[in-house]
Amino acid sequence: MIVATLRRLALAFALVGAAAALAAALLTVTSVVLRALTTRPIQGDVELTQFAIAFAISLTVPWCQWRGANIIVDFFTQRLRAARVRQLDAVGALLIAVMFALLSWRSGVGAVAVYQAGETSMIRSLPMWWVYASLSPGLALAALIALLQAGLLFQGQSLKRLQDATP
């Protein structure tokens, strides 16, 4: 139940994230065309792209974690038994959960601080706290997924079946 929900959320986040990146690409292309034809590009296209891509990437992190796509060095542990490897991977999942949780929490705190300071973007004067806040959900979901994986691995379960399920 929890497993299925987290998976569906990660999948949805990833699709929305990639769609946001594509939207940023379309915006940029429109701006380039307008600039060439009318010398009047979209105002602040650069900052809009920056924010959209940052948001997009934060949303793709849970799916990457779900799929186990993070790069690891497996050279020195090739001879270990499968059970021992799972214990190591559980520790790895726990450590990356700490990283995600820290970044999610601190980006949220950053959002509050930036909101109080009333900081806005240079060209379109967009409220900057949105940018900070937009990164929190993806990183938080990734932390939850990594915690779940650590739990399963500590119980000696393999993640292979979960990860390979076709989207």
CA dihedral (131, 137, 139, 141) in degrees, to 10, reads -170
User: Which of 3, 4, 77, 120 is close enough to bind other proteins by CB under 8 A?
Assistant: 77
User: Which of 5, 83, 160, 167 is close enough to bind other proteins by CB under 8 A?
Assistant: 167
The sign of the torsion formed by the CA atoms of 32, 34, 40, 41 equals: negative
Residue 87 near residue 153 (C-beta atoms within 8 A): yes
CA dist., res. 31 & res. 70, Å (int): 34
Residue 79 near residue 146 (C-beta atoms within 8 A): no
Give residue for tokens 């949303």: 59
Q: At closest approach, how far in Å is the CB of 59 from other proteins?
A: 8
H-run or E-run covering 58: helix 45-66
Q: Which stretch binds other proteins (CB under 8 A): 1-9, 11-19, 148-156?
A: 11-19
Q: What mask, x for binding other proteins by CB under 8 A, covers residues 37 to 76?
A: ---------x--xxx-xx-xxxxxx-xxx-x-xxxxxxxx
Residues near other proteins (CB under 8 A), total: 62
Q: Which amino acid is at 23?
A: A
User: Which of 98, 117, 123, 165 is close enough to bind other proteins by CB under 8 A?
Assistant: 98
User: Which of 6, 7, 96, 140 is close enough to bind other proteins by CB under 8 A?
Assistant: 96
Residue 121 near residue 47 (C-beta atoms within 8 A): yes
Subset of residues 120 to 149 that bind other proteins, contact rule: CB under 8 A: 131-132, 135, 139
CA dist., res. 129 & res. 8, Å (int): 28
Task: Rule CB under 8 A: say whether 107 interacts with other proteins.
Answer: yes
Site residues, other proteins (CB under 8 A): 11, 14-15, 17-19, 21-22, 24-26, 28-29, 31-32, 36, 46, 49-51, 53-54, 56-61, 63-65, 67, 69-77, 85, 88-89, 91-92, 95-96, 98-99, 102-103, 106-107, 109-110, 113, 131-132, 135, 139, 167
